[in-house]
Amino acid sequence: MNSFAKRKNIIIGILLIIGAIYVMRLFNLQIVDSTYKRSATRNVVREVIEFPSRGLIYDRNGEMLVYNQIVYDLLATPREIGRFDTTTLCSIIDVPKEVFIDELKKAKRMSTYRPSVIIKQIPPDRYALLKEKMFKFPGFYLQTRNVRTYPFGCAAHVLGYIGEVSPAFLEKNPYYRSGDYIGVSGIEKAYEEHLRGRKGVSLFLVDVHGRIKGSYEDGKLDTVAVKGRDLVSSLDRELQQYGEKLMVNKAGSIVAIEPSTGEILSLVSSPSYDPVEMVGRNRTVNFPRLLNDPLLPLFNRAISAQYPPGSTVKMLHGLIALEENIITLGSSYYCANGFHVGNFHQACHHEQSFNLNNAIAQSCNAYFSQEFRDLLQDRKYGGARNGYEVWRNHVLSFGFGNRISYEFDEEAKGFIPEAEYYEKRVFKNAKWRALPIISLAIGQGEMQTTPLQMANYTAILANRGFYYPPHVVRSIDGAELNPELKTKRYTTVNSIQFERIMDGMEEVVNSGTASIARIPGITICGKTGTAQNPHGSDHSTFIAFAPRENPKIAIAVYVENGKWGNLYAAPIASLMIEKYLKDSIQPSRQWLETRMLETNLLYPELPNYIQYPK
């Protein structure tokens, strides 16, 4: 009929081809490609998080050290804001008007349909005022939040603080979301997983404006928030506060351990800060101030500062020499106002022979230098290098040279040089001799230890040869403590040897270098020390445990720039011991307490923590 009738087929052909393309495209979109399904879920599902309250922290006697206080965030849904008096609102919540208006503008930019936080952490007293007037501010409402509160304001370094998670951390830890809080230091960090509890998540469907339209999957996937676990710290709040008081106006640290358990009774790092400074609206002011303070109040000296141990290390030398049969209790060395070999002179201040216990009591340098020389060069080792290795292995078994805490990851390791270290720097290709490293015998030279390690060493002496890793948390409500903390560790020195040097340590306090630390009625074993400080006055150190039999407390005290052990460290340690064992300072010693409290050693000089010798 028509010459162009065949063109119908071409037209239908084109239609069918397009139809086929569309079907293939739909097949790809709807069945092959799953990204659109994921985008759809992301579009409509919104998580609403219920934050659990963080676990509380008690001291060993059940006193609360950390609890949560409710503060209020002021939120606003910009679309719903009616007419209100900005000035009134700002004066109630005590926020400058400009800041408030600025935040409100930001919220409007975010979304006019969704609520945004305008002002964070309104304290409870302001909240009471605001609540009465809330009806005047349509579109605004309040949301509760928990913040940490510290009834005693002590133990900031032990408790640590919390802060918003960092973006880098978020990437590796999907549990956290931007804006979540996490323990940043101390117990808050070490026990984060116990303290945080579990967030509750409710899934809601939202429309394109972000308005909630109902629950997702009828709430089948929703979870309830689980409160964080409470912790009992091993700290003795009273002792802790007393220690902090004694250390006011001094830089340094105190670590007191219950030897039979490894529980830390008190851990003081001075200067410190009030933990409440790291909470709430003032944190933004306080944190940079603390961070920039030249005295480093945020730095936990007790676990992170490294000093040469000084004479406090002498018992360790004695014990090793006894164990290795280098000396006996009766062996004696002569002190000729020091120790002199050829051109080498090491000063001391006696002119007599000493046996081990006398040498400890009088802290004779010459005795330990000679003893250490004899140990290193003993023929049975076949060379001083081997002798050094033997000695070093004993030292390591006392918890030196490595981290001993399972809780503080900011803990420093200390430094017990490996033989290679001396090989490279001291002996080069020459034969090993004792003399170039003889200062190790009196705790100077390259050896470095932390106050925590020294307290642990004291606990080992008190225990006659073993320790539990020192820790600040005693128990967790509803969970087991890390079993490592309950595992006894023995040193490589037989416990018999420990008993043999007790007399010397007791003598230190009774009539020796630290008689100032003597407390009538308590047998204290101790040792003074002076940690050399090339940057200023030497540091005063003292370690002690008491009572001699069945010790209850082992303590290490460092007072930076405190010159000699018996000047500040020994008195402070003895006051701590007395406070802990007797609960109060007896009248005859109160002058000492007053003197310690009043001492001010701080001057604007930057304390210098000697890192590994370069």
Partner 1 sequence: MAQRFEIWKRLDWIIILLYVFLVIAGWLNIYSAVYSEEHRSIFDMEQRYGKQMLWIIFAFVLGLLILVTESNFFVAFSFPLYIFLLFLLIVVLFFGNKVNGAKAWLTIGEFALQPSEFAKFGTSLALAKVMSSYDFSFKNRNSKILLIALLVIPVLLIVLQHDTGSALVYVAFLIPFYREGMSGLILFFLFFTALLFILSLLLAPWLFVVLLILSAFAVFILLRKKWNELLTPLIVLVSSVALVSIIFLVFGLAYNFYFVLLISSFISGVILLFFSIYKRIPQATLIVSIFILSLLFSFTVDFAFENILQPHQQDRINNLLGIESDPLGAGYNVNQSKIAIGSGGLFGKGFLKGTQTKFDFVPEQSTDFIFCTVGEEWGFVGSIVIIVAFIYLIIRIINLAERQRSIFSRVFGYCVASIIFFHFVINIGMTIGIAPVIGIPLPFFSYGGSSLWFFTLLLFTFLRLDASRFEQLR
Nearer CB in complex with partner 1: 16/99: 16
- Of 65, 107, 147, 206, which lies in the binding site for partner 1, with binding defined by CB under 8 A? 206
The answer to whether 5 contacts partner 1 (rule: CB under 8 A) is yes
The answer to whether 7 contacts partner 1 (rule: CB under 8 A) is yes
CB of 26 to partner 1, least distance (A): 5
The region of 7-15, 94-102, 234-242, 594-602 touching partner 1 under the rule CB under 8 A is: 7-15
Query: Could you give the CA distance from residue 406 to residue 190 in angstroms, rounded to a whole number?
Result: 8
The answer to whether 31 contacts partner 1 (rule: CB under 8 A) is yes
- Of 62, 208, 480, 534, which lies in the binding site for partner 1, with binding defined by CB under 8 A? 208
The answer to whether 213 contacts partner 1 (rule: CB under 8 A) is yes
- Of 25, 106, 133, 380, which lies in the binding site for partner 1, with binding defined by CB under 8 A? 25
CB of 81 to partner 1, least distance (A): 23
In the chain, the N- to C-terminal Cα span, in Å, equals 105
- Of 22, 169, 490, 612, which lies in the binding site for partner 1, with binding defined by CB under 8 A? 22
The answer to whether 47 contacts partner 1 (rule: CB under 8 A) is no
The answer to whether 48 contacts partner 1 (rule: CB under 8 A) is no
Total residues interacting with partner 1, rule: CB under 8 A: 37
CB of 204 to partner 1, least distance (A): 11
The region of 35-43, 287-295, 465-473, 490-498 touching partner 1 under the rule CB under 8 A is: 35-43
- Of 142, 205, 419, 610, which lies in the binding site for partner 1, with binding defined by CB under 8 A? 205
The region of 69-77, 158-166, 205-213, 527-535 touching partner 1 under the rule CB under 8 A is: 205-213
The region of 51-59, 111-119, 209-217, 576-584 touching partner 1 under the rule CB under 8 A is: 209-217
The answer to whether 110 contacts partner 1 (rule: CB under 8 A) is no
For residues 451 and 305, the answer to whether their CB atoms sit within 8 Å is: yes
The answer to whether 328 contacts partner 1 (rule: CB under 8 A) is no
DSSP state letters, 427-477: ITTSPP-SGGGGGGGGT-TT-BB-HHHHHHHHHHHHHTSEE---BSEEEET
User: What are 545's strand-pairing partners?
Assistant: 525, 554
Nearer CB in complex with partner 1: 19/151: 19
In angstroms, what CA-CA distances link 7 with 2, 12, 506?
A: 10, 9, 117
Residues 145-174 that bind partner 1 (CB under 8 A): none
Which of 532, 585, 77, 9 has its CA nearest to residue 306? 532
The answer to whether 484 contacts partner 1 (rule: CB under 8 A) is no
The answer to whether 219 contacts partner 1 (rule: CB under 8 A) is no
- CA dihedral defined by 309, 312, 315, 321, rounded to 10 degrees? 40
For residue 585, what are its two tokens?
Answer: 């300072």
- The secondary structure of 128-173, three-state, reads HHHHHHHHHCCCEEEEEEEEEECCCCCCHHHHCCEEECCHHHHHHC
The answer to whether 30 contacts partner 1 (rule: CB under 8 A) is yes
- Of 37, 106, 133, 582, which lies in the binding site for partner 1, with binding defined by CB under 8 A? 37
The answer to whether 581 contacts partner 1 (rule: CB under 8 A) is no
The answer to whether 11 contacts partner 1 (rule: CB under 8 A) is yes
**Pairing of β 64-76 and β 140-149:** antiparallel
The region of 115-123, 168-176, 201-209, 334-342 touching partner 1 under the rule CB under 8 A is: 201-209
The answer to whether 40 contacts partner 1 (rule: CB under 8 A) is yes
Residues 61-100 that bind partner 1 (CB under 8 A): none
CB of 15 to partner 1, least distance (A): 6
The answer to whether 16 contacts partner 1 (rule: CB under 8 A) is yes
Q: Which residues contact 556 (CB under 8 A, 6 or more apart)?
A: 254, 255, 312, 451, 452, 454, 455, 457, 458, 541, 542, 543, 573
Nearer CB in complex with partner 1: 33/94: 33
CB of 77 to partner 1, least distance (A): 18
For residue 50, what are its two tokens?
Answer: 């219920």
Query: Could you give the CA distance from residue 60 to residue 114 in angstroms, rounded to a whole number?
Result: 46
For residues 434 and 376, the answer to whether their CB atoms sit within 8 Å is: yes
User: What are 473's strand-pairing partners?
Assistant: 233
Cα 557 to chain centroid distance, Å, stands at: 17
Which of 277, 286, 318 has its CA nearest to residue 493? 318
Nearer CB in complex with partner 1: 3/292: 3
The region of 206-214, 269-277, 288-296, 405-413 touching partner 1 under the rule CB under 8 A is: 206-214
The answer to whether 44 contacts partner 1 (rule: CB under 8 A) is yes
What percent of the residues of the chain are helix, what percent strand, and what percent coil, each to the nearest 5? 40, 20, 35
For residue 317, what are its two tokens?
Answer: 């030398």
For residues 232 and 120, the answer to whether their CB atoms sit within 8 Å is: no
For residues 552 and 523, the answer to whether their CB atoms sit within 8 Å is: no
Nearer CB in complex with partner 1: 35/588: 35
For residue 399, what are its two tokens?
Answer: 């918890």
Tokens 């609102």 map to which residue? 89
Q: Which residues contact 31 (CB under 8 A, 6 or more apart)?
A: none
Query: Could you give the CA distance from residue 254 to residue 240 in angstroms, rounded to a whole number?
Result: 9
Nearer CB in complex with partner 1: 22/169: 22
The region of 32-40, 70-78, 88-96, 413-421 touching partner 1 under the rule CB under 8 A is: 32-40
The answer to whether 109 contacts partner 1 (rule: CB under 8 A) is no
Residues present in the chain in total = 614
CB of 237 to partner 1, least distance (A): 54
| Site mask for partner 1 (CB under 8 A), range 127-146, x = bound | --------------------
Residues 261-290 that bind partner 1 (CB under 8 A): none
User: What are 346's strand-pairing partners?
Assistant: 339
Which of 493, 498, 406 has its CA nearest to residue 461? 498
Which of 576, 482, 583 has its CA nearest to residue 231? 482
The answer to whether 17 contacts partner 1 (rule: CB under 8 A) is no
Residues 362-381 that bind partner 1 (CB under 8 A): none
Footprint on this chain of partner 1 (rule: CB under 8 A): 3-5, 7-8, 10-12, 15-16, 18-19, 21-23, 25-27, 29-31, 33, 35-37, 39-41, 43-44, 205-209, 213-214
